[in-house]
């Protein structure tokens, strides 16, 4: 496994808003990092792309989605660095066959790839901790949860996400399923990006 993993506000926001929009369904997506992590072995997840909320395991649609994401973010120097999933049942935070297979596929192209499971029972309107479980592959090919001290959340991110949840912004998040149903629904979520820019700038002004 690599060193520490840091989650930026945008990455964590989109994951949690995606899960909050479909509390009755399993949801999935990918997280993005800079193309080169540097010599420290640490990885910074800077963004996330919501994938599905209907059927997570459809291989053809997954292939199309991953290809489009890779092409779209390559010019920004970002690569797919991991997979996230929230299971359907509130007390279930264990990766299933689909989560493991997709994460393994991503790991074929990124040795430091991570698998993030959202802990549904800890997702609330006033977040005190990040409701996620982060795993990476060990040398023997098994996914192992990382210790909490090695997971870092961008300062102020939990406050920003709590504000968005309280304002029900999760209903504005689009994933690939939404896009396939209505092409005007942008899976890049520019409206969320703009809102995050405003909120994070305001938070920095208060510091």
d(CA 51, CA 56): 8
More confident residue, 205 or 5: 5
Of 29, 5, 33, the closest CA to residue 17 belongs to: 29
pTM of the predicted structure, to 2 decimals: 0.94
Length of the chain: 207
Kindly state whether residue 206 falls inside one of the protein's structural domains.
Answer: no
pLDDT tens-digit profile of 33-59?
Answer: 998 644 457 899 999 999 999 988 788
Q: Any idea which of 37-46, 111-120, 126-135 has the lowest mean pLDDT?
A: 37-46
Tokens of 187: 């899976």
CB distance 153 to 12 below 8 Å: yes
> pLDDT tens, 71-107?
999 999 999 999 999 999 999 999 999 999 999 999 9
Supply the pLDDT for residue 38: 46
- Residue 207 maps to a domain: no
Query: Who's near 176: CB < 8 A, 6+ residues apart?
Result: 50, 51, 52, 61, 65, 187
Residue 47 lies in a domain: yes
Q: Can you give the pLDDT at residue 137?
A: 93
Cβ 122 vs Cβ 91: under 8 Å: no
User: Does residue 137 sit within a domain?
Assistant: yes
* DSSP state letter for 191: H
Residue with tokens 């090919």: 141
Domain that holds residue 193: 5-200
Whether 81 maps to a domain, the answer reads yes
- Here the CATH number for the domain that contains residue 33 is 3.40.140.10
As given in the structure block, the two tokens for residue 121 are 């029972």
Q: Is residue 24 part of a domain?
A: yes
Q: Is residue 29 part of a domain?
A: yes
Per the domain annotation, does 205 fall within a domain? no
Residue 144, CA distances (Å) to 89, 115, 137 in order = 22, 9, 6
Predicted local distance difference test score (pLDDT) of residue 1 = 58
Question: Residue 81: its pLDDT value, please?
Answer: 97
- Count structural domains, the chain: 1
Residue range 157-204, pLDDT digits in tens: 999 999 999 999 999 999 999 999 999 999 999 999 999 998 877 766
């Amino acid at each position: 496994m690599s060193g520490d993993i840091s989650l930026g506000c945008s990455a964590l926001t989109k994951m949690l808003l995606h899960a909050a929009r479909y509390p009755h369904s399993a949801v999935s997506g990918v997280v993005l990092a800079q193309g080169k992590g540097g010599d420290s072995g640490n990885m910074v997840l800077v963004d996330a792309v919501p994938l599905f909320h209907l059927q997570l395991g459809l291989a053809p649609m997954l292939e199309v989605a991953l290809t489009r994401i890779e092409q779209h973010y390559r010019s920004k120097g970002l690569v797919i660095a991991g997979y996230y999933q929230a299971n359907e049942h509130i007390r279930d935070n264990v990766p299933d066959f689909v989560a493991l297979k997709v994460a393994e596929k991503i790991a074929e192209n990124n040795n430091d790839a991570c698998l993030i499971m959202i802990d549904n029972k800890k997702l609330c309107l006033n977040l005190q901790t990040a409701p996620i479980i982060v795993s990476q592959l060990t040398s023997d090919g098994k996914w192992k949860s990382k210790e909490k001290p090695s997971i870092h959340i961008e300062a102020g991110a939990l406050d920003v996400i709590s504000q968005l949840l309280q304002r029900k912004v999760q209903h504005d998040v689009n994933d690939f399923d939404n896009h396939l149903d209505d092409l005007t629904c942008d899976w890049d979520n520019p409206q969320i990006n703009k809102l995050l820019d405003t909120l994070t700038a305001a938070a920095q002004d208060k510091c």
